Structure 1
């Protein structure tokens, strides 16, 4: 990171460690904050990638990162912010119990209820 302003982001899909788009974080010097979870959202398998939508009864498992503004802008492009996804600020709980504010990308389209991913199948991995 360039030493400027940083923000936190919660990822739950292809940006996670070991997955196809993780280099969009690791290749830009993102700082891994740890495994994390966000309440009030449900995870849906959309095929090649997942999406979350608001659901007060659910939670989603993923990872939290500290990133700089240029990385956030790059993620906005990757996620189709404003069309396919919208970026929202949420309370994210880290493994140690600390709650941080982090951006999450919320799916901005309709989902098939049959594609909901239960907690025991999280975090998301394509094809699992």
Structure 2
């Protein structure tokens, strides 16, 4: 199975240790989604724009760990989408984003550069 990640699970980010045993397949620009800054992690929702992601091959135990990580907040739902590497799971935000700042460039890693 595959997962597509766009924020703190990406390489060299705060939660990348969760992906230690995953196989990186490549980067992907995902069209039709918007990215928002929630502080320590982002939120992706369907919308205008594109977001920069990484696609990984994972096993069921990594998926279970990620489901547990995401279900602790009850803010995300997992959805299957199409990527150049095959279908992959993505976690989409399900709460209101009113008052949250959109990351216009769609790249969590480069968000600080946008603020300048």
Q: TM class, shorter-chain normalised?
A: 0.7 to 0.9
- TM-score normalized by structure 1? 0.78
| Other-structure match for 2:76 | 85
Moved over 3 A (4+): none
Q: Give, in whole Å, the separation in 2 of the partners of 1:103 and 1:30.
A: 14
Deviation (angstroms), 1:20: 1.3
* 8 Å CA contact retained: 1:85, 1:107: yes
Residue 40 of structure 1 aligns to a residue whose secondary structure is: strand
Deviation (angstroms), 1:118: 1.2
Deviation (angstroms), 1:37: 2.1
Q: Give, in whole Å, the separation in 2 of the partners of 1:59 and 1:39.
A: 4
| Other-structure match for 1:12 | 6
| Other-structure match for 1:54 | 46
Length, aligned pairs only:
112
RMSD (Å) for aligned C-alpha atoms: 2.0
| Other-structure match for 1:110 | 96
Cα deviation, 1:20-65, whole Å, max 9, x if unaligned, reads: 1111111xx200011112222110111111001111x222111110
Deviation (angstroms), 1:103: 0.5
